[in-house]
Amino acid sequence: MSRPRIVIVGAGFAGYQTARTLCRLSKGAADVVLINPHDYFLYVPLLPEVATGILEPRRISVSIPGTLPDVRLILGEADSVDLTRRSVGLVDPEGHRREISYDRLVLAAGSVNKLLPIPGVTEHAHGFRGMPEALYLRDHMTRQIEMAGAADDPEERAARSTFVVVGAGYTGTEVAAHGKLFTDELARTQPTLRDREPPRWKLLDIAPRVLPGLPEHMAETAERVLTRRGVEVSMGVSVEEATKEGVRLTDGRFVPTHSLIWCVGVRPDPLVGDIGLETAKGRLCVDAYLSVPGHPEVFACGDAAAVPDLNNPGEITPMTAQHAWRQGRTVAHNIAASYGRGERRRYRHRDLGFVVDLGGFQAAANPLQVPLSGPVAKAVTRGYHLAAMPGNRVRTGADWLLDAALSRQAVQMGLVRSDAVPLENNAPELPVRLSG
């Protein structure tokens, strides 16, 4: 009898964990196929540390073949699903189309940058959702400070030394907190900047406080640390227009800058909206068993799925790694159950708390709802990340030790150009292919 084929689209928190658990449960009785544009699982929460030179990019990129040797990895971007013929269409990295049939399908394609209809933002802002954007930002910050150091015109120097982050959720808050420390250190290497005002960072959000949605004490800690560090935190304010010269804010002020970092949130990967199945807020609707109503052979999980939150009836689970990881495990168990191995289970998870790394010795955390800040929160945050990573722990820990002892490496590699990471991009996991 041929082995059933289980095709998983997306190797992020949800898809990687589905594949890992399925391999364990099936013990070789199933053909587990993972479709992903790249050959690694990206530990997204540590991206701000890659952008600011603490971690090298490969530390948070865990090899799929190296850690899931029983999974068949197909490199490519899925772009269609035929529910009648039970097949997925994809384009491989060399542009060839192929189709792969499935007995069970798991859609776990994650999310992409959210856009807002604000003039100039698509042209002048960069998002922060994937590795190419983090590598671009690291180079961009280094370049801006180096060019500010070489500028004769004080206005140019000021604009190049100003960085605006829009969105004070955990992504924007971490980017601003780490970014300020990084550019301050870079500026100290420039003889013309050393004795001037340090680089200026602004963190904006239309919400009344930073970290909206997270506990009040975490917001207070983050705002205190950011303000002490010199980040200008402006709440209740957003961008009205972005231009090549800077940004006009909704309170009328104009901020000259060449750096607009867009962290307003994410939207589900557009793939799930194109399949012809029911969606809620762009996420694919599933039942409490994470299967698509009317299609018991199709499952969805993670940011791309609208999963009923059984602890908050009427709500769907938030887009977090914590949920995506556990949903992946539930999907694997329910697929095994569909072949008679074990019982189906409903997805239910109560948040274990959250961690926000603020750079240096600072963090805000609430493990198991215990409020923590300062170095203790930092230790918990780093310990949590190391425990949560499915590989590369020693290398990541070694980078942290090196960063504590040495100064950051301020060099631009120039490998990711600005136009390779447009904000409007349905695949932020890869740099856009440029002709010429």
Interface with ligand FAD (CB under 6 A): 9-15, 35-37, 42, 44-45, 47-48, 77-78, 108-111, 128-129, 170-171, 269, 271, 302-304, 319-322, 324, 429
| Distance of alpha carbon 7 from alpha carbon 270, whole angstroms | 19
Taking the least distance from each CB to ligand FAD, the nearer of 44 and 255 is 44
**Shortest gap between Cβ of 74 and ligand FAD (angstroms)?**
9
**Shortest gap between Cβ of 95 and ligand FAD (angstroms)?**
15
Q: How far is CA 354 from CA 214, 266, 322, 361, in A?
A: 8, 18, 9, 17
Say if residues 103 and 296 touch (Cβ distance below 8 Å).
no
**Shortest gap between Cβ of 209 and ligand FAD (angstroms)?**
18
| Distance of alpha carbon 330 from alpha carbon 301, whole angstroms | 9
Taking the least distance from each CB to ligand FAD, the nearer of 148 and 166 is 166
Encoded tokens for 45:
């929460």
Dihedral pair phi/psi, residue 114, rounded to 5°: -85, 140
Comparing CA positions, the residue from 261, 212, 209 lying closest to residue 235 is: 209
**Shortest gap between Cβ of 417 and ligand FAD (angstroms)?**
20
Taking the least distance from each CB to ligand FAD, the nearer of 25 and 363 is 363
Encoded tokens for 401:
């030790």
| Distance of alpha carbon 35 from alpha carbon 42, whole angstroms | 14
Taking the least distance from each CB to ligand FAD, the nearer of 243 and 322 is 322
Taking the least distance from each CB to ligand FAD, the nearer of 198 and 273 is 273
Q: Is the dihedral of CA 293, 295, 301, 304 positive or negative?
A: negative
Tell me the one-letter amino acid at 384: Y
Taking the least distance from each CB to ligand FAD, the nearer of 161 and 396 is 396
**Shortest gap between Cβ of 243 and ligand FAD (angstroms)?**
26
Taking the least distance from each CB to ligand FAD, the nearer of 120 and 265 is 265
Say if residues 128 and 176 touch (Cβ distance below 8 Å).
no
Say if residues 201 and 78 touch (Cβ distance below 8 Å).
no
**Shortest gap between Cβ of 14 and ligand FAD (angstroms)?**
4
What distance, in Å, lies between the first and last C-alpha atoms of the chain? 50
Taking the least distance from each CB to ligand FAD, the nearer of 161 and 330 is 330
**Shortest gap between Cβ of 395 and ligand FAD (angstroms)?**
19
DSSP per position, 279-326: EETTEEE--TTSEETTEEEEEE-GGGEE-B-TTSTT-B--S-HHHHHH
Burial of 431 (0-12, 13-18, 19+ CB in 10 A): buried
Taking the least distance from each CB to ligand FAD, the nearer of 40 and 255 is 40
Half-sphere exposure of 426 toward its Cβ, with a 13 Å CA cutoff? 11
Taking the least distance from each CB to ligand FAD, the nearer of 196 and 393 is 393
**Shortest gap between Cβ of 206 and ligand FAD (angstroms)?**
19
Encoded tokens for 346:
């409903």
**Shortest gap between Cβ of 129 and ligand FAD (angstroms)?**
5
Greatest CA separation found in the chain? 75
| Distance of alpha carbon 118 from alpha carbon 164, whole angstroms | 15
**Shortest gap between Cβ of 233 and ligand FAD (angstroms)?**
19
Q: Nearest-CB residue to ligand FAD?
A: 12
Angle at 46 between CA 33 and CA 190, to 5 degrees: 135
